[in-house]
Amino acid sequence: MMINQNIAGLPSWDQTIAMTLQVISERDLWKRNDLRKVVADQFNLPEKTRNRTYPNNPDVPIVESRIGWTLSDLAIGGLITRPHRGVYQITDLGSQMLSKYGKHLTRNEVYQLPLFQEHQREVEERRSRKATMSQASENTTNDPEDIFNLLAQKTKDYNIEVTTKLRQQIIDSDPVFFEHLVVKLLSKMGYKGPNGSATVTPISNDGGIDGIINQDPLGTSTVYLQAKRYSKDNTVQRPQIQSFYGALQGKGAQRGVFITTSRFSPSAADYARRFSIVLIDGLTLTDLMLEYEVGVQVKHDYKLYEIDDDFFNLD
């Protein structure tokens, strides 16, 4: 098939969407790296164009990087799924969309899907939560302050996308995995202390407590956790907080943290405040995971230099 390419000689975003979904449909399961390479090869690009890379990411060809973002969009829209880490599979919806649009499938159709719309609403909610986020100027100059602010803004926008996708990946994970995740996160946040311990309680005998963090070896200061891996629309209600408080009372505990991938109702939040229970909802959870680098890794560091005046000071 002849492919119209963009100015750089590479397939456009729309063209990678149709081709990627077509290739995925030809096999039951695909490993991510294999899939990117096979899709890229379908475009029959000249070797120099096929291997072109970004200066700050020389290990991955641009076309494969673009396909990686396409996979992300297809997964958000529900056209493909990830049954295992780094493995992709087409869904019934993906097969239907491919049958309907074929090579004419574009991001416009993907972006109109209900799951993608839900994703965008969450992105906007995260942005609105960050009320202190500075607004990048539309008319930036080469002034160092303008460049710094623009870079900071773009980084925040990128990380909002990462946290939104991260939340969905957690929701799709195993409940026991989620319990281990929150124990690790709170440990990295300093709840465990330098010589403390952190454990996930056995499923068969948790008594309403999913995790226990001792801040010292003797366990004189203990934090009890409850972790609920809920879908985004399954709001935690007051009775669930009351039940957790009852479990805390049974332990004679004074400190509790309730973590969910969804959100808390106003009455649940009010009850938690009255009894000093810390609440962490899905948006806050993934923000903290980025802050403490749990389940994520740094993709790239940018260095901004300034002149070292002391170096030129001969006095």
pLDDT reported for residue 137: 44
Which CATH number does the domain 1-127 belong to among 2.60.40, 1.10.4030, 1.10.10, 1.20.58?
1.10.10
CA distance 41 to 47: 10
pLDDT reported for residue 3: 46
pLDDT reported for residue 2: 41
pLDDT reported for residue 156: 86
Point out the residues of the chain with pLDDT beneath 70: 1-8, 56, 131-145, 204-206, 219-220, 314-315
pLDDT reported for residue 7: 41
pLDDT reported for residue 19: 94
pLDDT reported for residue 232: 87
Kindly report, as residue ranges, where domains of CATH 1.10.10 are found in the chain.
1-127
Kindly report, as residue ranges, where domains of CATH 3.40.1350.10 are found in the chain.
142-315
CATH 3.40.50.150 assigned to domain 142-315? The reply is no
pLDDT reported for residue 4: 46
User: How does the average pLDDT of the chain come out, rounded?
Assistant: 85
What is the model's pTM? 0.68
